């Protein structure tokens, strides 16, 4: 079998699991997460430096071979997302940007209209844009039209670990959307990442479920394997489901004769 | 003179460069990005930028996120 590479923004990736850097009790575990998960893409956020604090720099823990995917978290409008994206690029870590435009503080649901507007602007400026969106076909289509490199629909609200609550809408996106579909947010267990991949998602992004596990490195490994297993199952082409039983062995007259 | 650094007013002497300000805060210039009056300051010009009275500075860096 030829190597099943995943190409995005001109980069060919072996791993279809993206990871994050948020919520770790101790950032020094991050290199172990990258290695155990096999992930090659990792997210970060951009924030004001707290002049009073002496906390470490998360960048010290991200292996140099990782593709950095800064997000625009904190943005409430397209203009704010564009501003954060430009600042992130000025850090000198590449052109990738995960657009997050959120003004809803309870469920952290993304604003599709503002996200599409930010995507359009940033694509024109040469960014590789991966927008975080609701699992909504029309929003996803508008992002394809705007030149997004992928769409990242949510399985459930950020940080909830509730799994693929949007399953049916994800199925429609996977069926209809021609650019990569990366399920982001809400995936709580490896089985859920595996299911998303079996359905034909191109990749998954998992942060909270790994970062808040009792053993984050072990959980990262489990997610890496689950994503691979799900991808293989998708490529293998699952057999049909049916309601009535179908015997696994041929039914013959043996033992039933007179 | 007074500059506003990450939302807080700060008294400063005249003629200080952006690089000097960052270093006085214990920040390595390669770990931050700076916006001065809503315009991004290219990293290679931190040493050339002399701060003015009333400048609004935003100093940011990458932190953990998903």
Domain range summary for chain B, segments of one domain joined by +: 2-60
Helices (H), ranges, B6-55: 18-24
Q: CB neighbours of A108 closer than 8 A, spacing ≥ 6? A: A102, A157, A158, A159
pLDDT reading at A254 higher than 80: no
Between CA A87 and CA A170 the distance in angstroms is 32
Q: What is the pLDDT of residues A10-25, one digit of tens each?
A: 999 999 999 999 999 8
Q: Which residues pair with B57 in a beta bridge?
A: B5, B36
Between CA A228 and CA A17 the distance in angstroms is 9
Dihedral sign for Cα A67, A72, A73, A78, please.
Answer: negative
CB-CB neighbors (< 8 A) of B8 in chain A: 51
A12 is catalytic: no
Residues within 8 A of A (CB atoms), B 6-65 only? 6-8, 25-27, 31-33, 35, 40, 42-43, 58-65
What percent of chain A has pLDDT above 90? Answer: 83
pLDDT reading at A208 higher than 60: yes
Q: Which residues pair with A133 in a beta bridge?
A: A153
Question: Domain locations in chain A?
Answer: 6-236
DSSP letter (8 states) at residue A19: E
Residues of chain B with pLDDT below 70 are none
Cβ contacts below 8 Å, chain A against chain B, sum to 89
Cα dist from A152 to A36, A144, A243, whole Å: 23, 12, 34
Q: What are the φ/ψ torsions at residue A105 (nearest 5 degrees)?
A: -85, -20
Q: What is the pLDDT of residues A87-146, one digit of tens each?
A: 999 998 899 999 999 988 899 999 999 999 999 999 999 999 999 999 999 999 999 999
- Residue A1: pLDDT band (50, 70, 90) is low
Which chain B residue has its CA at the smallest distance from A59's CA?
Answer: B62
ipTM (interface pTM): 0.92
CB-CB neighbors (< 8 A) of B32 in chain A: 49
Options A3, A12, A23, A98, the catalytic residue: A98
Architecture of domain A6-236: Alpha-Beta Barrel (3.20)
- Residue A220: pLDDT band (50, 70, 90) is very high
User: Of B35, B59, B65, which is closest to A43 when you measure between CB atoms?
Assistant: B65
Between CA A135 and CA A83 the distance in angstroms is 25
Mean pLDDT calculated for residue range A53-76:
92
CB distance B62 to B30 below 8 Å: no
pLDDT reading at A199 higher than 70: yes
Cα dist from A250 to A19, A239, A246, whole Å: 47, 18, 10
Confirm or reject CATH 3.10.20.30 for domain B2-60, answering yes or no.
yes
Cβ–Cβ below 8 Å for A158 and B66: yes
């Amino acid at each position: 079998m030829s190597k099943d590479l995943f190409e995005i923004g001109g980069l060919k990736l072996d791993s279809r699991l993206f990871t994050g850097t948020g919520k770790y009790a101790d950032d020094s575990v991050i290199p172990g997460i990258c290695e155990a998960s096999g992930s090659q893409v990792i997210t970060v956020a951009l924030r004001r430096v707290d002049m009073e604090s002496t906390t470490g720099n998360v960048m010290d823990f991200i292996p140099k071979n990782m593709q950095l995917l800064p997000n625009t978290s904190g943005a409430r409008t397209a203009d704010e997302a564009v501003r954060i994206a430009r600042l992130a690029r000025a850090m000198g870590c590449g052109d990738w940007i995960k657009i997050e435009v959120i003004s809803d503080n309870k469920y952290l649901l993304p604003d599709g209209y503002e996200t599409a507007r930010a995507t359009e602007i940033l694509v024109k400026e040469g960014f590789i844009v991966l927008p975080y969106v609701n699992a909504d076909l029309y929003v996803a289509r508008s992002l394809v039209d705007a030149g997004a490199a992928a769409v990242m629909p949510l399985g459930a609200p950020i940080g909830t670990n509730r799994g693929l609550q949007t399953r049916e809408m994800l199925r429609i996106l996977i069926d209809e959307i021609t650019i990569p579909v990366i399920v982001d947010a809400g995936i709580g267990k490896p089985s859920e990442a595996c299911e998303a991949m079996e359905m034909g998602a191109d990749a998954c992004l998992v942060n909270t479920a790994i970062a808040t596990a009792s053993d984050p490195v072990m959980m990262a490994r489990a997610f890496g394997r689950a994503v691979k297993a799900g991808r293989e199952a998708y490529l293998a082409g699952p057999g049909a489901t049916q309601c009535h039983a179908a015997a696994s062995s041929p039914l013959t007259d043996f033992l039933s004769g007179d | 003179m007074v500059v506003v650094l990450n939302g807080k007013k700060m008294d400063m002497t005249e003629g200080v460069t952006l690089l000097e300000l960052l270093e006085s805060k214990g920040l390595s210039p390669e770990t931050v990005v700076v916006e001065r009056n809503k315009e991004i300051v290219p990293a290679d010009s931190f040493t050339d930028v002399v701060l003015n009275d009333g400048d609004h500075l935003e100093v940011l860096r990458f932190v953990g996120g998903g």
